[in-house]
Amino acid sequence: MKKVLLLCLSGFLFSCGNKPAPDNGSVDDGVVVVSDDETQVFVRRDVYTMAADDPVLVGYKTAIRHMQGLPDTDPTSWTFQAAIHGTYASGDNPVWNQCQHGSFFFISWHRMYLYYFERIVRKYSNNSDWALPYWNYSTATTRSIPATFRDNNGDNPLYVSQRYPSMNAGARMSDQTVSLACLEKIPFTGTPSSLESFGGQTIPAPQHFFSGRGALENVPHNQVHNAIGGWMQDPNTAAQDPIFWVHHSNIDRLWNTWISLGDGRYNTDDEVWLTTSFPFYDENGTLVELTGAEILNSVSQLDYRYESDPEDFDPESLFALNEGDERSALKMKPAMTGEEQEGKTTLAQTKDAETKFTQKPLKVNLTMETNGPAAMKRSIDTTNKDDKGVYLTIEGVKFDEMPNKSIGIFINVPEGTEPDYNSPHFVDLLTFFGVGHHGHHHGEDNGSNFVFRIDDNLTKLSELGIDISSIEVSFHLTNGVEPLEGFTEEATDADADPKGSPRFRKITIQSY
């Protein structure tokens, strides 16, 4: 394994004929041996183009029934596969509760997870061409759960009654839930606000739940989990819902989409990200492992592609792994050093006091520091920008159980107007999926911090003539689903308190 990785890291990734456990390979001491035979490339198709009797959907049902009938101890069983993501079951199988949220491992870990799940389903589907479909919800006509997953007639393993009743009745997710703004984020990782990156924060070692999520993970990923409700709302149950896998197939597809947009979009070359290996089980119930370096090219390394990938999609040609490569200049900035952190200037803040995100639009006024307004102005001066960003941090976020709502964060919404998610008042969504529970810990626990870059908002607001010399942050609860006639649900009701008492301690605005 070492040898392969060294080759990869010195820029010869193309020549690594290294594939994880293909049909004709064998695993020996963690090293995958492969023959050079041409292997079949499986095509992951759009679920919205499939009729109810499409062999992919039929095969998915066949496999789920089979997997649900296997004993929970069988690594290829439905329960075991879901437990790899997360579980409330007791027992300490080292492969359980592995899902990587809130860091740059999010994207890579879930690709690995899907890869072996797909192999297992293929085996049990009795369809040797079977590939995981994807749910592209970001079009005007595909925002409802696909019909076959909502069909409650008879014994349909794709139907899950725990979801929000309105979603199972065809309610649509809102524009904001399925926004693809994440694709505009250029760096993969490592900016002061992880939300300004596509893929999330660089961390020195895997962590089940961390707070440095990237833009893709936050929206649409987290918000779609939240909108579907039921098992999907909690990482410890999410993968039990068959919709989880078509949602993640789409998230994985968006990674390919992002890469194919070019213009400086490159995967990280962080060595920890490339070399850390994660354990899974293959379709034969054999313990296997994968590293980041082994999953970068879905076609050549994992034998699958998306129907929607551009014809000439060639992720290998895009890797910015070569020393001296001009693309290296475009590589993401590393995470901030301690010195840079110390260069932070606080412009405005609230008192340190636990505050609940409650039903009514919660409004919080920040107290400006003396230098605040002037520094803010310099940061948003488009002709003479001082090169610093302005960041809003929500500190000490905690909850007792996974909240059933997300929180829209807005700045200086005029009195008496409804918050508009398409206006420059809107900062971002604070979503809770994949954030560690902090409520039950004993002793010192500071909760999680979320950092949002706001100079763009401030610039646009001041261009509109809106006063930014004082700042009021307002929070609006949402579960990201459009109301459906005949359904009055607590979760879609913006006036009902969220579950789990989500709360924060402090808001600060800083420039650095």
Residues contacting ligand C2O: total by CB under 6 A: 9
**Among 425, 438, 364, 427, which Cα is nearest to 399's?**
438
> What six digits make up the tokens of 480?
């990201």
Instruction: Quote the least distance from Cβ 110 to ligand C2O, whole Å.
Output: 6
Instruction: Quote the least distance from Cβ 194 to ligand C2O, whole Å.
Output: 16
- DSSP H or E run through 510: strand 506-511
Q: Is 312 helix (H, G, I), strand (E, B) or coil?
A: coil
Residues in contact with ligand C2O, shown as a per-residue x/- string from 173 to 212 under the rule CB under 6 A: ----------------------------------------
Instruction: Quote the least distance from Cβ 451 to ligand C2O, whole Å.
Output: 21
**Local structure of residue 221 (DSSP, 8 states):** I
Instruction: Quote the least distance from Cβ 323 to ligand C2O, whole Å.
Output: 34
- Amino acid present at 342: E
Residue nearer to ligand C2O on the CB measure, 110 or 253: 110
Instruction: Quote the least distance from Cβ 300 to ligand C2O, whole Å.
Output: 25
Alpha helices by DSSP H, 196-242: 215-216, 223-228
Confirm if 374 and 481 have CB atoms less than 8 A apart: no
Instruction: Quote the least distance from Cβ 252 to ligand C2O, whole Å.
Output: 11
Separation CA 19–CA 22 (nearest Å): 7
Residue nearer to ligand C2O on the CB measure, 85 or 476: 85
> What six digits make up the tokens of 189?
């990782």
Instruction: Quote the least distance from Cβ 85 to ligand C2O, whole Å.
Output: 5
Confirm if 132 and 111 have CB atoms less than 8 A apart: no
Instruction: Quote the least distance from Cβ 84 to ligand C2O, whole Å.
Output: 10
Instruction: Quote the least distance from Cβ 86 to ligand C2O, whole Å.
Output: 7
Separation CA 448–CA 342 (nearest Å): 20
331 is an interface residue for ligand C2O by CB under 6 A: no
Residue nearer to ligand C2O on the CB measure, 219 or 390: 219
Q: Which residue has the closest beta carbon to ligand C2O?
A: 99
Residue nearer to ligand C2O on the CB measure, 66 or 101: 101
- Amino acid present at 191: T
Separation CA 409–CA 195 (nearest Å): 14
- Applying CB under 6 A, which of residues 66, 123, 213, 248 lies at the interface with ligand C2O? 248
Residue nearer to ligand C2O on the CB measure, 213 or 503: 213
221 is an interface residue for ligand C2O by CB under 6 A: yes
- Applying CB under 6 A, which of residues 13, 47, 83, 99 lies at the interface with ligand C2O? 99
Instruction: Quote the least distance from Cβ 241 to ligand C2O, whole Å.
Output: 10
CA 382 to chain centroid: 32
Residue nearer to ligand C2O on the CB measure, 8 or 402: 402
- Applying CB under 6 A, which of residues 235, 315, 408, 480 lies at the interface with ligand C2O? 235
Confirm if 237 and 88 have CB atoms less than 8 A apart: yes
> What six digits make up the tokens of 198?
């596509």
Which residue has 């999926």 as its token pair?
433
Instruction: Quote the least distance from Cβ 89 to ligand C2O, whole Å.
Output: 17
Query: Measured between alpha carbons, how far apart are the two ends of the chain, in Å?
Result: 41
Residue nearer to ligand C2O on the CB measure, 248 or 425: 248
Instruction: Quote the least distance from Cβ 118 to ligand C2O, whole Å.
Output: 16
Residue nearer to ligand C2O on the CB measure, 13 or 295: 295
Separation CA 194–CA 233 (nearest Å): 22
305 is an interface residue for ligand C2O by CB under 6 A: no
Separation CA 273–CA 403 (nearest Å): 30
Is the four-CA dihedral 423, 425, 427, 430 of positive or negative sign? Answer: negative
Residue nearer to ligand C2O on the CB measure, 247 or 505: 247
238 is an interface residue for ligand C2O by CB under 6 A: yes
Residue nearer to ligand C2O on the CB measure, 85 or 265: 85
Is the four-CA dihedral 240, 228, 90, 82 of positive or negative sign? Answer: positive
Instruction: Quote the least distance from Cβ 248 to ligand C2O, whole Å.
Output: 6
Residues in contact with ligand C2O, shown as a per-residue x/- string from 108 to 137 under the rule CB under 6 A: --x---------------------------
Confirm if 409 and 356 have CB atoms less than 8 A apart: no
Alpha helices by DSSP H, 136-242: 147-150, 165-168, 215-216, 223-228
293: phi then psi, degrees, rounded to nearest 5: -65, -20
DSSP string, 7-72: HHHTT-GGG----SS-TT-EEETTEEE------PPEEE-BGGG--TT-HHHHHHHHHHHHHHHS-T
Residue nearer to ligand C2O on the CB measure, 114 or 481: 114
Residue nearer to ligand C2O on the CB measure, 273 or 410: 273
Q: Are strands 355-356 and 503-504 parallel, antiparallel or unpaired?
A: antiparallel
Residue nearer to ligand C2O on the CB measure, 393 or 431: 431
225 is an interface residue for ligand C2O by CB under 6 A: yes
Q: Which residues form the interface with ligand C2O (CB under 6 A)?
A: 85, 99, 101, 110, 221, 225, 235, 238, 248
